[in-house]
């Protein structure tokens, strides 16, 4: 059995989208130069719509929140309160993973995390994300620079799903999207989901994640206005 590699995680709490986007780009450069190890960012964003490489403004039906065109794959999506967003900054070449294998591992992390709460989900070939029947509870859209990943996944936990009606999420009908709250019939504490996800992420990727060193983190965060 291979030894666990060391990595960092950062729980950003509640943050606006744009500074976290800048933060990802900064961390990608640091990871590319081996200045930091693989790092997982977890965040809850204020209301925002993002458009991936396959999306355009025609996918926005009603701009109830700011809209950003970003580097990730996929179409339009929504981020907002009650949704757990993860941005893994990881060197795929070091793990000898191709893009498809990496996405499969992200899906596996989400499937196993939800199973801890008695929610059985599945993956669908050609439709990145995590599904329960014909409804989608988690979305995945990634970008890669110098074989380092950024952007990532969004799990609808206690999300206000009405915002999905403002867009065509990944080209689908808004009603396709579902939340954990809807599936369970009650809200689920986001902190519990974070704990489950970190454990499954460590197991899936062979990582031992520890908090980012505070002094180094402060310098990085200040450099992007976070």
Residue 86 CA to residue 182 CA, distance in Å, equals: 21
13 by Cβ neighbours in 10 Å (0-12 / 13-18 / 19+) ranks as exposed
Residue 28 tokens read as: 């990608």
Q: In which order are the strands placed within the sheet that holds 5-15?
A: 122-124, 127-132, 135-145, 148-156, 83-89, 39-45, 5-15, 207-211
Q: Which of 140, 170, 178, 183 is catalytic?
A: 170
The end-to-end CA distance of the chain, in Å, is 39
Q: φ, ψ for residue 11 (rounded to 5)?
A: -95, 105
Instruction: Mention every residue, 6+ apart, whose C-beta is less than 8 A from residue 191.
Output: none
Q: At what angle do helices 17-32 and 214-223 cross, to 10 degrees?
A: 120
Residue 166 falls in the annotated catalytic set: no
- Which residues are known to be catalytic? 170
């Amino acid at each position: 059995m291979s030894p666990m590699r060391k990595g960092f995680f950062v729980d950003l709490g509640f943050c606006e989208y744009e500074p976290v986007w800048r933060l990802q780009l900064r961390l990608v450069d640091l990871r590319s130069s081996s200045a930091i190890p693989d790092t997982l960012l977890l965040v809850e964003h204020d209301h925002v719509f993002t458009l991936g490489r396959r999306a355009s403004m025609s996918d926005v039906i009603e701009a109830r929140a700011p809209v950003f065109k970003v580097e990730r794959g996929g179409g339009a999506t929504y981020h907002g309160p009650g949704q757990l967003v993860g941005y893994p900054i990881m060197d795929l070449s070091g793990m000898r993973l191709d893009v498809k294998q990496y996405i499969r591992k992200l899906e596996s992390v989400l499937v196993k995390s939800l199973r801890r709460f008695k929610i059985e989900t599945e993956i669908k070939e050609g439709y990145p994300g995590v599904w329960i029947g014909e409804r989608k509870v988690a979305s995945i859209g990634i970008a890669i620079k110098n074989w380092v990943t950024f952007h990532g996944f969004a799990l609808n936990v206690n999300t206000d799903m009405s915002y999905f009606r403002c867009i065509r999420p990944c080209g689908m009908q808004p009603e396709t999207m579902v939340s954990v709250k809807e599936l369970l019939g009650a809200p689920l504490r986001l902190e519990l989901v974070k704990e489950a996800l970190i454990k499954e992420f460590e197991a899936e990727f062979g990582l031992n994640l520890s908090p980012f060193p505070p002094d180094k983190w402060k310098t990085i965060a200040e450099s992007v206005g976070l």
